[in-house]
A and B are shown apart, each in its own frame.
Chain A
């Protein structure tokens, strides 16, 4: 195994993986540990990594798997996602669409804070979809839910984001 090559990849992709872990886990401390763990896993299985595939998506896939595993081990995720079936039956309230522009009105820092503050069931799909650019199918597979529910979760996540950001504007 080529450690020098891996080290170069590590330096290039550390930020992205750290960012993903921090957003998925919602804590900087956890993210630092998780990032080390993810690269260690990557290093161990580097021999099995097919060189022609891009490194970024590969290591990010390990990272999201690891974070989901970690959250699941903390026994929070199973409970979080178990109520999705009933939730998705609720009608989509399209009235909220009128506030679409709200997210745009905020600076990136505030939006990031709001994302990290989201409950896990909304945070994980948002981060996977808009940070790692995972497809709905990928997200569904990793979270162990149905593909249809991913869209619903994303929609609700954005509704909640708007709601939170709306209140911050009100506070100002």
Chain B
């Protein structure tokens, strides 16, 4: 055998020859002095290289650990969001394919959709007018950026002190405190009265908050109002969202109405879209017309509306004297259909007992009648029934937990927190528990749009259920923390068992449940935040 070349020597020294080659090489080397010398030299050289590379001449000071994204990343993200919004809008305009879009997808098409109430719509409009008109409408855009910035700051507390974020938030805050007459969004607030006079026509979307709100002037856009007493008596071009202790509506509304109040009175009103009503007392003296559906939740309600589609109601007591073109569905206590009542479709009710339902002989029901009584909640359940129910719930939670951790294994690692961190994330959980539905509500009705708000609420409901399981896993993992073997499934089951037992104790149970919600939700929010900002996971 000829002497192996230098490459073979290097490979051998680095342990990169296969077994056969190694044997051949070693056999040769044992008989060849020059190769032994060369091998020795290569080894020496390797050693010298390693030593040199692992020696640092200068002493290093370790800087503070930075864990948030850099300012440039934040700005880049914002720029990307804005650019993509513009791109989407331009694409929709150029393509103009809205004709082919089914109704349930129409919210995707900002420039052509009939309903002005979509996320992309606000976004695109704000951008378009900002570009076309300059400064006044930039306020709208900043209005949009403010909640985004707040959420971002919440998720990245390290960043709050950073200059660019602070500057951005400052701009947004300033723009809010500096309302301009010609802005696309009109915001008025006062501690006592705000009256939009009959002669006044507001050409925008209006947000009004005051103790007493009276709207006599027409509004072409949406109206968002909150107050102790709110009266609306004019034409509204868009949708209405109103929150009031005492609410009176007597107007013509082009869009949909969401109303929440203690006492709500609707008279001589025409609503093109749907009517969502939730109130303690709903009164209606003169008939009014609704083009779409009515969804009603109330304690006491009298309704004489002419309804273009269906009426769905849940109430302690409802008197209906109006007309529905389609079905009437009811769930709750007393229901009275007066002599003028007409139901164009089916009549489906779930009612406390038979005497609670009174149907006048002159009332007309065109479709099927289906009347069920709500099964009584009795305390006569046997111990077995109770235990069986608890067991089924435990099993469901366990299966859900298995699926959850199988789908998202990183969620399990994310719950490895020390006491201080647990406290921090619990605070995060408490904030999320309260703010998510509020934010979702605001999103739904104001700035970002209905789909995102609904999606957020949906995720929140899932997170609420999952929080119980995550908290159980945390308890289980804490018990197994010092165990030699990792038993995630047993730990999950044990945690669930403990939490189920604790929550079944009278008085203590609800408190434990609340703590579990908050702790679990905190872990989930923390995990979601980390997962969102982590882009690559080395194996």
Contact = CB atoms under 8 A, between A and B. Distances in A.
- B partners with A: yes
B67 A43 contact: yes
B11 A151 contact: yes
A94 interface: yes
B48 interface: yes
B53 A1 contact: no
B62 A14 contact: yes
Interface stretch (B79-87, B302-310, B468-476, B525-533): B525-533
B60 A100 contact: no
A45 B14 contact: no
Contacts of B16: 135-136, 151
A147 to B, nearest CB: 8
A14 B56 CA distance: 13
Contact of A1 (B9, B11, B54, B414): B414
Is the interface on chain B under 10, 10 to 19, 20 to 34, or 35 or more residues?
35 or more
A44 B48 contact: no
B453 to A, nearest CB: 28
Given A44-B533, A112-B53, A103 B414 contact: no
Contacts of B55: 108-109, 112
28 contacts: A1-B526, A2-B418, A3-B421, A4-B418, A19-B56, A39-B65, A39-B66, A39-B67, A40-B66, A40-B68, A44-B67, A44-B533, A45-B537, A45-B538, A48-B413, A65-B538, A92-B6, A101-B44, A108-B52, A109-B57, A111-B48, A112-B57, A130-B53, A151-B14, A151-B16, A155-B10, A158-B49, A161-B49
Given A4-B421, A62-B538, 12 more contacts: A1-B417, A2-B421, A10-B65, A15-B56, A18-B60, A32-B63, A40-B66, A51-B413, A106-B48, A108-B52, A112-B52, A158-B45
Interface of B: 5-7, 9-11, 14, 16, 38, 41-42, 44-46, 48-57, 60, 62-63, 65-69, 410, 413-414, 416-418, 421, 526-527, 530-531, 533-538
Nearest to B45: A103
A136 B16 CA distance: 7
Nearest to A162: B45
A58 B416 CA distance: 19
A41 B414 CA distance: 16
A104 to B, nearest CB: 5
Interface string A1-12: 111101100110
A126 interface: yes
B52 A40 contact: no
B55 to A, nearest CB: 4
Given A48-B413, A65-B538, A155 B7 contact: yes
Contacts of A18: 60
Contacts of B533: 44
A131 B65 contact: no
A36 B7 contact: no
Contact of A154 (B10, B57, B69): B10
Q: Which of A6, A97, A127, A135 has the most CB of B within 10 A?
A: A97
**Interface SS majority for chain A:** helix
Contacts of B69: 40
B408 to A, nearest CB: 10
Contacts of A121: none
B61 to A, nearest CB: 9
A44 B66 contact: no
Contacts of A15: 56, 60, 62
Nearest to A9: B65
A79 interface: no
Interface string A148-159: 000110110010
A47 B527 contact: yes
Nearest to B486: A52
B209 to A, nearest CB: 40
A115 interface: yes
Given A15-B60, A47-B410, A154-B14, A103 B49 contact: yes
A115 B53 CA distance: 8
B29 to A, nearest CB: 14
A77 B537 CA distance: 23
A131 B538 contact: no
Contacts of B534: 41, 44-45, 47-48
Q: Which of A11, A23, A46 has the most CB of B within 10 A?
A: A46
A14 B14 CA distance: 27
Contact of A104 (B48, B410, B535): B48
A84 interface: no
